[in-house]
Amino acid sequence: MPERIAMGGYTLIEDAPLAARNTLRVTARAALLAEVHDAAALPELFAYPAVRTGDILVLGEGSNVLFTGDYAGTVIAMATRGVEVLDDDGTRALIRVAAGERWDDFVRWSLGRGCAGLENLILIPGTVGAAPLQNIGAYGVEVGEFIDAVEAWDRESQRAVTLDRDACGFTYRDSIFKRAPDRWLITAVVFALPREHALRLDYAGVREELAAMGVTQPAPFHVAEAVLRLRTRKLPDPAVIGNAGSFFKNPVVPLAQTEALKREHPALPIWPGPQGHAKLSAAWLIEACGFKGLREGDAGISNRHALVLVNHGGARGAELWALAQRVQAGVRARFGVELEPEPRIL
């Protein structure tokens, strides 16, 4: 039985099991796990020499990590709670949410309060603290747009800092937090949510789903319901089969390469990208290589969505990673495109 030591604001657990703390349901252990219930306790936690100088991994719900083995350092699990309305002038609300709150709970709470903005981001697993890390996005919306500021413990300067939206460097599935892993422990996020805004209905399937629901004048909660239905149909549920959502990012490639690929493969879905680039559908590339539904032991590629790596039960992290690398090699050989994993590989 792992030893548990409860301190003010955090609990320390030695040799802690991680299988229930990652949605790929991979078996792994952490040499030390600190579950943080009060962000004010972080300075005291970092006063421990092993935590201050050793390797640390900040963990939320584990819905975007792959453990390929045990973790020899300290896992810091953010379990802080609290939602606070800082300001609401009737047109826009500023809301501060603790890092350990569940993202989907907050989305539903915000819609229930009459705030708009997050409706397209319903049903994304994970914590609020992890949302800025990869600037979570779905159905044509990225969270960065609705973030006013991010509060964090900066391990480099050893103090609490607040970064405004511009300082966060949000781009597709990226931010300064993702580029410098574990430098900033995000302790809270301040959202700026409008009461009304132009709904985003252009992502494939959203208008069709609203029409099927019989909705002609959609409100934010209708859009949330449409996205919820689409996601439930398309993506495997981690409660049923272990997965981490999209295992690869959609590759962003130069326009010249995009045009060549499009000439050869007219069906390849392509979206606009940053200056001189376009974004390709990784799922399409993977399916075209014949990997959809593939299974090697208990490691597999979902038969519902080609971008989702699944654990059929007892797959080890190293087996899942080996399969992911096989997919990368297949797409590289066939299309000359490099697929970058979206989850953090540990």
| Contact status: 159 vs ligand EPU (CB under 6 A) | no
Considering beta carbons, is residue 42 or 278 the nearer one to ligand FAD? 42
Active-site residue, from 246, 302, 316, 344: 246
- Total interface residues for ligand FAD by CB under 6 A: 35
Cβ–Cβ under 8 Å, residues 5 and 11: yes
Considering beta carbons, is residue 194 or 236 the nearer one to ligand FAD? 236
Greatest alpha-carbon span in the chain: 62
Is 319 in the active site? Answer: no
Active-site residue, from 173, 209, 302, 344: 173
In the stretch 69-108, what mask flags binding to ligand FAD with x, by CB under 6 A? ---------x--------------------x---------
Considering beta carbons, is residue 281 or 328 the nearer one to ligand EPU? 281
Measured between alpha carbons, how far apart are the two ends of the chain, in Å?
24
In the stretch 272-311, what mask flags binding to ligand EPU with x, by CB under 6 A? ---------x-xx--x----x------------xxx----
Q: Which position has the token pair 């421990």?
A: 48
Cβ–Cβ under 8 Å, residues 90 and 195: yes
DSSP per residue, 244-287: EEESBPPPEEEHHHHHHHHHH-TT--EEE-STTEEEE-HHHHHH
- The Cα 100–Cα 61 span in angstroms is 9
Is 21 in the active site? Answer: no
Neighbours of 52 (CB within 10 A): 13
Q: Which residues pair with 253 in a beta bridge?
A: 278
Tell the smallest beta-carbon distance from residue 276 to ligand EPU (Å): 20
Binding interface with ligand EPU (CB under 6 A): 138-139, 204, 234, 245-246, 249-250, 269, 281, 283-284, 287, 292, 305-307, 342
Q: Which residues are catalytically annotated?
A: 173, 246, 342
